[in-house]
Structure 1
Amino acid sequence: MATFPLNAWYAAAYDVELGRSLLPRTICNQKIVFYRREDGTPVALEDACWHRLLPLSMGRLEGDEVVCGYHGLVFNGSGRCTHMPSQESVNPSACVRAYPVLQKHRFVWVWPGDPALADPALVPDLHWNDSPGWTGDGKLIHVNCDYRLVIDNLMDLTHETFVHGGSIGDRAVAEAPFVATHGDRFATVTRWMEGIQPPPFWAGQIRHARGYSGAVDRWQIIRFEAPCTVTIDVGVAEAGTGARGSEGVPGDRSRGVNGFVLNTITPETDKTCHYFWAFARNYCLHEQRVTHELREGVARIFREDESVLEAQQRAIDDHPGYTFYNLNIDAGAMWARRLIDRRIAAEASPAAAGRAIPIRPAA
C-alpha cells in the first residue's frame, strides 16, 4: 500500500537553497534535479539522462539548459533534448520528465503526480513565512523515519512534557483538555492552559518582549492540512487579559507574544523524509538577534524530536505488522492519518475516495 499521495504540492527546498546550480533531491521516491533559469524561475526535471540514465545533476548548466555530464546531451527546462553530440538531428523521443514547480511562502514546491491536476491554489497556506507583520526563520531537517510519524508528533503536543521538559514542556500541556475537529482536508486540535506558570522558553519570550513575569494564559492551536502540512498557533499572554476570546469573537493577544510554528514534511522515501520548519513571530520584528536565537533554540528542540522519531522508526522495523494503539490524546493524529489515507485511496481507486478508512478507536 502506498504511504503518500502523489497528487499534492510538496516542499522541495527553501527558496535560498535553489540558485544557478543543480540541486538533486528525492521526493516521493522520485529523483528530481532542481535549478533556476536566468530569470529566477524554478525548474524541476527527472534526474536521469534519456541516453544512459546518468543523473543530470552530475552535469552542468549552460544558460537555461542542462548539459549531461556523460555524453553532452542538452535538455531545456521543459525536459526536451535540444542537442545531441556528433549529429545534426535530435531524436524526437529524447526527453526527460518535467515536473510542475513553483515558489511560494519562501519554499519551492513540486508536484510529483499527474501534472494536469497541479493547481497552484492548492499550495499549503504558510503565509506567515513572508507576510508583513511577521518575521522569522527556519531550517530543513532530514529525518530517517516515515513522514507520518512527524505528523503524529506535531498533532499531539503532550509529548512536550516529557521530551522537551527543559524548554517548552510542562505538566500543564499533558493535563489540559483539548478539542479536536476535522473536515475533508483539515484537522485541528485546540488546547488552552489558563493561569499557569510559563515554561522556560515562553517565560523568556514574554519577559523580553513585554517586560512581564508571572502567570500566563497559553494556547496551542494545531491545524493539519492534508497531506503533510501542520501549522501551530502558539503563544502566551498575561493571565486574564482576554487572549482566549469567546465563541465567534477573537481574543485580545496584545498583552502577550504570538508565534506560528510552520511545518511541512515531504516524503523522500517510505522511511525517510525532508522536514521543513520555520518559526514566525509578530513581536520584536526588527531584532535579528531574537530571530537567530529562536531559530537555533527551536532547532535544538526539534533535534530532540528527531532522536525520538528515528528510534520509533527502528522499533517499527523491528516489529513488522504491529498496529498502534491510540489514546484520547491521539485524536488529531488519527484524523490526520485518515485524511492522508483517503487521498491515497482516491489515487488508487477514485471510487474508494468516499469510503471510510477504518482506524483503531481510542483506548
Structure 2
Amino acid sequence: MFIKNTWYVVCALTELDALGNKPLGRTICNEKMVFFKGPDGQLAAVEDFCPHRGAPLSLGKVCEGKLVCGYHGLEMGCNGQTVHMPGQRVRGFPAIKSYAVLQRYGFVWVWPGDQAQADAAKMPMFEFFDNPAWAYGGGLYHVQADYRLMVDNLMDLTHETYVHATSIGQPEIDETPSTTTVEGDQVILQRHMAGIKAPPFWQMAMSANGLDPQATVDRWQICRFTPPSHIMIDVGVALAGKGGFDAAPEHKAYSVVVDFITPETETSHWYHWGMARQFKPEDAALTDKIRQGQGGIFNEDMEMLQLQQKNISAWPERKLLMLNIDAGGVQSRRIIDRLLAQEQPTEITA
C-alpha cells in the first residue's frame, strides 16, 4: 500500500521543539513511531511500543537524551535498545525497531523502510527553503482520506472553479486544456491561461507586489509530482503579454505551492502545505496573510476529500470513472504502483 524505502515529512521541527521534554507520537505508513532528541540533540525515531508491557512510549518523556516510558520508567536509547529501568536488569531486552530520521528544510523526515537503504542523498532538493530570496509559510492538516486522493486532487486543478470559487477558482480553468507529461518518475501537468482577469487571491497578491489588481493577466499552473507523494505547483499571474511564467519579476506575482503528503493509514494522511514566494520575501505580515488565505483554501479541499473517502468506503465495489482531466493523477498513481511493486519481495519458485 505504501512506498517505504523513501523519505516522508513527519512534522515541522518547531512542532517537535515545542513539546519540550515530551516525545512526538505519529503513525506513518501504518507504523506507530515516536520521535525525540537524543543526548546531543540528534533526532531519533523508534517504534511507539515499550518492550516491557507494550505501553506507547509517546506517553512518556525525554530525560537526558533517553526516552523514558511513562508506565514503569523503562529508558530507551536512540537505537531502540533498552538502556535502564529502576531496580531491574533490562539490558538483555531485544531492541525494538528504530528508523532513519533527519532534519532538513525546517522539517523532520523519516525513512519507514529498510534503515540500511536510507540515503540522505535521496532527499528531494528545493531552492526556496533556507533562501533569503524566498519567503515561506505553511501549516498541517490531518486528513481522514487515502493519501492518493490528495494526489489526485492536486494533480487536477479543474476543481478550483467549484471548490474554491471565491478565492482561486475561475471559469477559464475549465475552459483551458492542460497537458500532462511524464519524465522518469516525475509527472508534470501544465495549464496556461492568457488574457484573463485574476481571481480574488491573485488580485491580493498583485496588489502586494505593486501591480494593478484589475489588469488583464496571463495565469499559469504547473503541477509537479515526485514520489513518494510530494507535489510542487508553480502558480502565478503576470501582466498580459509580458511573458507569462517567464515574465520579469516586476511584472508578475509568482509562488510555489508546497505539498508534502505523508500516509498515515489506508484512509488517512498528514498533509503539510505551504507557499513559497519570490515577491516581497521580507514582508512577514504578507507571509502570514497568504498563509491564512491558503489555509482556508486547503480546508475546503480537506472537507471534500474526507466526504469523498466516506463515500468510497461505503461503496468499495464501485469503480470510479476517469476523464481526460484525471491524466495527472492517473500517471502519478502508475508511478506509485510501479515503485510499490519494486519493493515487494520476489517469489522463489521451485
Same fold (TM over 0.5): yes
Q: Is the 8 A contact 2:132 2:281 kept in 1?
A: no
Cα displacement (A) at 1:45 = 1.1
**1:1-29, Cα deviation, whole Å (9 max, x unpaired):** x2x21111111101111124211111111
Q: Which residue of 2 aligns with 1:342?
A: 338
Larger mean CA deviation between 37-46 and 264-273 belongs to 37-46
Q: Which residue of 2 aligns with 1:313?
A: 309
Q: Is the 8 A contact 1:129 1:278 kept in 2?
A: no
Specify every segment of 5 or more residues in structure 1 that has no aligned partner in the other structure, as ranges. Answer: 246-250, 352-363
Q: Which residue of 1 aligns with 2:182?
A: 182
**1:64-91, Cα deviation, whole Å (9 max, x unpaired):** 101112222211111111113324x444
Three-state SS of the structure 1 residue aligned to 2:209 is: helix
Q: Which residue of 1 aligns with 2:168?
A: 168
**1:182-219, Cα deviation, whole Å (9 max, x unpaired):** 13311000111111111111112112212323100111
Larger mean CA deviation between 294-303 and 118-127 belongs to 118-127
What is the CA–CA distance in structure 1 between the aligned matches of 2:162 and 2:113, rounded to whole Å? 39
What is the CA–CA distance in structure 2 between the aligned matches of 1:346 and 1:134, rounded to whole Å? 37
Cα displacement (A) at 1:349 = 4.1
What is the CA–CA distance in structure 2 between the aligned matches of 1:30 and 1:37, rounded to whole Å? 21
Three-state SS of the structure 2 residue aligned to 1:137 is: strand
Three-state SS of the structure 2 residue aligned to 1:145 is: coil
Q: Which residue of 2 aligns with 1:252?
A: 248
Q: Which residue of 2 aligns with 1:356?
A: none
- Are 2:50 and 1:49 equivalent residues in the alignment? yes
What is the CA–CA distance in structure 2 between the aligned matches of 1:350 and 1:104, rounded to whole Å? 34
What is the CA–CA distance in structure 2 between the aligned matches of 1:103 and 1:73, rounded to whole Å? 27
What is the CA–CA distance in structure 2 between the aligned matches of 1:133 and 1:204, rounded to whole Å? 20
What is the CA–CA distance in structure 2 between the aligned matches of 1:143 and 1:128, rounded to whole Å? 26
What is the CA–CA distance in structure 2 between the aligned matches of 1:144 and 1:259, rounded to whole Å? 28
Q: Which residue of 1 aligns with 2:144?
A: 144
**1:31-72, Cα deviation, whole Å (9 max, x unpaired):** 111112354321111111111111111211111101112222
**1:82-107, Cα deviation, whole Å (9 max, x unpaired):** 113324x4443432211000011121
Cα displacement (A) at 1:350 = 5.3
Q: Which residue of 2 aligns with 1:111?
A: 111
Q: Which residue of 2 aligns with 1:6?
A: 4
Report the identity percentage. 43
Q: Which residue of 2 aligns with 1:361?
A: none
**1:193-249, Cα deviation, whole Å (9 max, x unpaired):** 11111111111211221232310011111000111100001111110011345xxxx
What is the CA–CA distance in structure 2 between the aligned matches of 1:13 and 1:341, rounded to whole Å? 25
**1:117-162, Cα deviation, whole Å (9 max, x unpaired):** 1111222334423322110210000000000000100000010011
What is the CA–CA distance in structure 2 between the aligned matches of 1:244 and 1:23, rounded to whole Å? 41
Three-state SS of the structure 2 residue aligned to 1:79 is: coil
Q: Is the 8 A contact 1:23 1:35 kept in 2?
A: yes
What is the CA–CA distance in structure 1 between the aligned matches of 2:175 and 2:121, rounded to whole Å? 38
What is the CA–CA distance in structure 2 between the aligned matches of 1:235 and 1:244, rounded to whole Å? 7
- Out of 258, 278, 281, the residue aligned to residue 277 of structure 2 is 281
Q: Which residue of 2 aligns with 1:85?
A: 86
Q: Aligned AA for 1:164?
A: H
Specify every segment of 5 or more residues in structure 2 that has no aligned partner in the other structure, as ranges. Answer: none
Q: Is the 8 A contact 2:32 2:48 kept in 1?
A: yes
Q: Aligned AA for 2:217?
A: V
Three-state SS of the structure 2 residue aligned to 1:18 is: helix
TM-score normalised to structure 2 length = 0.94
What is the CA–CA distance in structure 1 between the aligned matches of 2:41 and 2:82, rounded to whole Å? 21
Trace 1:59-70 onto structure 2 (pairs within 5 A): 59-70=60-71
Three-state SS of the structure 2 residue aligned to 1:297 is: helix
Larger mean CA deviation between 123-132 and 69-78 belongs to 123-132
Q: Which residue of 2 aligns with 1:157?
A: 157
Q: Which residue of 2 aligns with 1:123?
A: 123
Larger mean CA deviation between 70-79 and 149-158 belongs to 70-79
Q: Which residue of 1 aligns with 2:229?
A: 228
Q: Which residue of 2 aligns with 1:295?
A: 291
Q: Which residue of 2 aligns with 1:354?
A: none
What is the CA–CA distance in structure 2 between the aligned matches of 1:191 and 1:230, rounded to whole Å? 16
Q: Is the 8 A contact 1:75 1:95 kept in 2?
A: no
What is the CA–CA distance in structure 2 between the aligned matches of 1:53 and 1:310, rounded to whole Å? 32
Q: Which residue of 2 aligns with 1:242?
A: 243
Trace 1:19-30 onto structure 2 (pairs within 5 A): 19=17, 20=20, 21-30=22-31
TM-score normalised to structure 1 length = 0.91
Q: Is the 8 A contact 2:13 2:108 kept in 1?
A: yes
Larger mean CA deviation between 341-350 and 218-227 belongs to 341-350
